Structure 1
Amino acid sequence: MEFKKIIEQVVAEIFSSMVFLDIKSLDGVDPEPMQGSMLSGMIGLAGDLQGTLLIHLPDQAAIAITNAFLGMELSAVDDDVKDAVGELANMVAGGIKYLMPENTRDIALAIPSVVRGKGYSCEATGRFERAGVVFELAAGRFIVEVQVKDSGSLFGR
Structure 2
Amino acid sequence: MATAVSTISDSLIQDSIVRAVRNVCVTMLKQEAGLVEKSTVTGYDGFKEKPHVFGSVGFAGVIDGIVYLCIPDDFAQDAAARVLGMSLAEVEMTGDEAVKDVVGEITNMTVGGFKNALCNVGFPCKLTLPTIVRGDSLSVAGLKGAIRHVFHFDCSGHRLIADIQLRQD
**TM-score with structure 2 setting the length:** 0.79
Instruction: Tell which structure's C-alpha radius of gyration is larger.
Output: 2
Q: Could you say which residue in structure 1 is the equivalent of 2:79?
A: 65
Distance (Å, rounded) in 2 between the aligned partners of 1:15 and 1:148: 23
Distance (Å, rounded) in 2 between the aligned partners of 1:29 and 1:149: 19
Distance (Å, rounded) in 2 between the aligned partners of 1:39 and 1:149: 24
Note if contact 1:90-1:112 (Cα within 8 Å) is conserved in structure 2: yes
Q: Could you say which residue in structure 2 is the equivalent of 1:103?
A: 122
RMSD (Å) for aligned C-alpha atoms:
2.0
1:125 to 138, 143, 163: 143
Distance (Å, rounded) in 2 between the aligned partners of 1:43 and 1:118: 20
The reply to whether residue 7 of structure 1 matches residue 21 of structure 2 is: no
Distance (Å, rounded) in 1 between the aligned partners of 2:38 and 2:166: 21
Distance 1:125 1:27, change over 3 A: closer
The reply to whether residue 47 of structure 1 matches residue 61 of structure 2 is: yes
Distance (Å, rounded) in 1 between the aligned partners of 2:38 and 2:143: 26
Quote how far apart the aligned CAs of 1:140 are: 2.2
Note if contact 2:63-2:168 (Cα within 8 Å) is conserved in structure 1: no
Distance 1:63 1:144, change over 3 A: same
Q: Which amino acid aligns with 1:10?
A: A
Give deviations 1:58-105, integer Å, cap 9, x for gaps: 10011111222222212436201111111111001110111124321x
Note if contact 2:52-2:71 (Cα within 8 Å) is conserved in structure 1: yes
Note if contact 1:43-1:112 (Cα within 8 Å) is conserved in structure 2: yes
Instruction: Give the fraction of aligned pairs with identical amino acids, expressed as a percent.
Output: 25
Quote how far apart the aligned CAs of 1:28 are: 5.4
Q: Where in structure 1 are there 5+ consecutive unaligned residues? A: 152-157
Q: Where in structure 2 are there 5+ consecutive unaligned residues? A: 1-10
Q: Which amino acid aligns with 2:50?
A: G
- SS in structure 2 of the partner of residue 50 of structure 1: strand
| Greater share of residues in helix | 2
Quote how far apart the aligned CAs of 1:139 are: 5.2
2:104 to 75, 86, 110: 86
